[in-house]
DNA sequence: TCACATTGGTTGACATGGAAACTAGATAGG
DNA sequence: CCTATCTAGTTTCCATGTCAACCAATGTGA
């Protein structure tokens, strides 16, 4: 124990007083619901995000994926291994740098994305169906404000 | 927008088209920021939630905590072990049922909560400071709507 | 009362991510 | 060139959660 910078007594507010807490509650519920649907396709949330990140674009090096997905390079390395085992992505050596390589979708991976995208659409629609169009739009607007305010650029995977 | 590759089965929308995705992004950022502050007090997010759940109330059995916190009883069991080791909570045998017991805060645990609560307040305020009061209130309202719509039970039941 | 189902908790096998050590291949400076 | 330093990725260790098997105490019904 270092500096016992002890705070004077502080009122202990309820957990639900924190918007961040509410946020986490709702976010976890959405993610769990979606993860459940993905599980039926033998895909995890993180795997879906990586597959989506590789879909319709050029092959990407793990380092870039790590930044895009907000994960460490170690995590990306293992995640890529799993997708490689499942035959959904492939590695391509970089001819200019023998340390590096790029990741891309296999035919099987490409074929799988649309089905997963449909699940994502359905899952999202189902969860937010309780909101009116106006509410839904408002929510998205607020989230974007926060994303901009904090310059969030990564795709969390929890 | 989504370009080049044809959609065999389903149009592949962008990740950020999903409100659930935006929620994860923001929620993740809030939680990480708060977790960082908590780490300075040698407390994890899960530990904080349990400490807060036990603060100012009667001792609670692990089963109830599991429901309140949205975790499995196995996770609660281990989490309780950690807090026990840290001396922040204590177990009390249930005289009516020898299988059961209750968890409560120790003096040390009680003493620690207000400081953590202040961190929670500060962290939350800092994150949402970019929103106007009206926006903030609107966001909370929308989150509550979703929580109600899905009967997210990470709450009470006394 | 006794065999059996149920329930409160714990434990062990996995899964998965972060941090940091480590490896191999690039690069810069002298 | 040669060595010191970077850099891309991998691997190891650790933390933490889920799931399922398991243990012990309770409850139940004939």
B41 neighbors B127 (Cβ within 8 angstroms): no
pLDDT band at B45 (very low <50, low <70, confident <90, very high): very high
Q: Which residues pair with A92 in a beta bridge?
A: A102
Q: Is B39 on the interface with A (CB under 8 A)?
A: no
Nearest nucleotide over every DNA/RNA strand to the B97 CA, judged by C1': D25
Give Dmax (Cα) for chain B. 69
Establish if A103 belongs to a structural domain.
yes
Establish if B29 belongs to a structural domain.
no
Q: How far is A74 from chain B (nearest CA, A)?
A: 19
Chain B residues touching residue A21 (CB < 8 angstroms) = 124
How far is residue A137's CA from residue A121's CA, in Å, rounded to a whole number? Answer: 16
More confident residue, A95 or B8: A95
| Average pLDDT score, chain B | 91
Across the interface, do B146 and A131 touch by the CB < 8 Å criterion?
Answer: yes
DSSP annotation of A93 reads E
Establish if A153 belongs to a structural domain.
no
Q: What is the pLDDT of residue A158?
A: 44
Q: Give the count of domains, chain B.
A: 1
Chain B residues touching residue A152 (CB < 8 angstroms) = 25-26, 29
Establish if A95 belongs to a structural domain.
yes
CATH number at residue A122: 1.10.10.10
Task: Give the pLDDT confidence of A71-89 residue by residue, as tens digits.
Answer: 999 999 999 999 999 999 9
Q: What is the pLDDT of residue B3?
A: 43
Whether pLDDT at B2 is above 70: no
How far is residue B59's CA from residue B50's CA, in Å, rounded to a whole number? Answer: 12
Establish if B1 belongs to a structural domain.
no
Q: Is B86 on the interface with A (CB under 8 A)?
A: no
Q: What is the pLDDT of residue A12?
A: 82
Q: Could you tell me the distance in Å between the CA of residue B148 and the C1' of nucleotide D16?
A: 29
Establish if B3 belongs to a structural domain.
no
B49 neighbors B60 (Cβ within 8 angstroms): no
Across the interface, do B142 and A150 touch by the CB < 8 Å criterion?
Answer: no
Establish if B86 belongs to a structural domain.
yes
Instruction: Show residues, CB within 7 A, near nucleic chain D.
Output: A 61-63, 73-74, 76-78, 80-81, 94, 97, 99-102; B 44, 46, 70-75, 78-79, 82, 96-99
Whether pLDDT at A7 is above 80: no
pLDDT band at A8 (very low <50, low <70, confident <90, very high): low
More confident residue, A15 or A28: A28
pLDDT band at B4 (very low <50, low <70, confident <90, very high): very low
Q: What is the pLDDT of residue A115?
A: 95
DSSP helix/strand/coil, A64: helix
In chain B, the DSSP E strands lie at 89-93, 101-105
ipTM rounded to 2 decimals:
0.89
Q: How far is A142 from chain B (nearest CA, A)?
A: 7
Q: How many CA atoms lie within 13 A of A49 on its CB side?
A: 27
Task: Give the pLDDT confidence of B117-148 residue by residue, as tens digits.
Answer: 999 999 999 999 999 999 999 999 999 999 99
Task: Give the pLDDT confidence of A23-73 residue by residue, as tens digits.
Answer: 999 999 999 999 999 999 999 999 999 999 999 999 999 999 999 999 999
Q: What is the pLDDT of residue B158?
A: 31
Establish if B27 belongs to a structural domain.
no
Across the interface, do B155 and A123 touch by the CB < 8 Å criterion?
Answer: no
Q: Domain range spanning residue B59? A: 35-149
Q: Could you tell me the distance in Å between the CA of residue A58 and the C1' of nucleotide C19?
A: 30
∠ CA B75-B79-B81, rounded to 5°: 120
How far is residue B47's CA from residue A79's CA, in Å, rounded to a whole number? Answer: 28
More confident residue, A15 or A140: A140
Q: Is A26 on the interface with B (CB under 8 A)?
A: yes
More confident residue, B44 or A155: B44
Q: Residue ranges of the alpha helices (H) in A16-157?
A: 19-39, 45-54, 62-69, 73-85, 107-128, 133-149
Q: How far is A26 from chain B (nearest CA, A)?
A: 6
């Amino acid at each position: 124990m270092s500096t016992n910078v002890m705070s004077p007594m502080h009122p202990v507010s309820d957990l639900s007083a924190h918007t961040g807490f509410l946020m986490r509650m709702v976010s976890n519920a959405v993610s769990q619901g979606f993860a459940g649907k993905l599980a039926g396709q033998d895909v995890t949330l993180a795997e879906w995000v990586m597959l989506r990140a590789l879909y319709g674009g050029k092959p990407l090096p793990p380092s870039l994926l790590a930044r895009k997905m907000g994960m460490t390079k170690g995590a990306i390395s293992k995640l890529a291994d799993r997708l490689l085992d499942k035959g959904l992505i492939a590695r391509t050596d970089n001819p200019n740098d023998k340390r590096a390589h790029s990741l891309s979708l296999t035919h099987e991976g490409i074929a799988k994305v649309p089905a997963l995208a449909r699940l994502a659409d359905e899952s999202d629609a189902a969860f937010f169906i309780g909101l009116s169009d106006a509410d839904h739009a408002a929510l998205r607007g607020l989230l974007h404000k926060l994303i901009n305010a904090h310059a969030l650029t990564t795709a969390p995977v929890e």
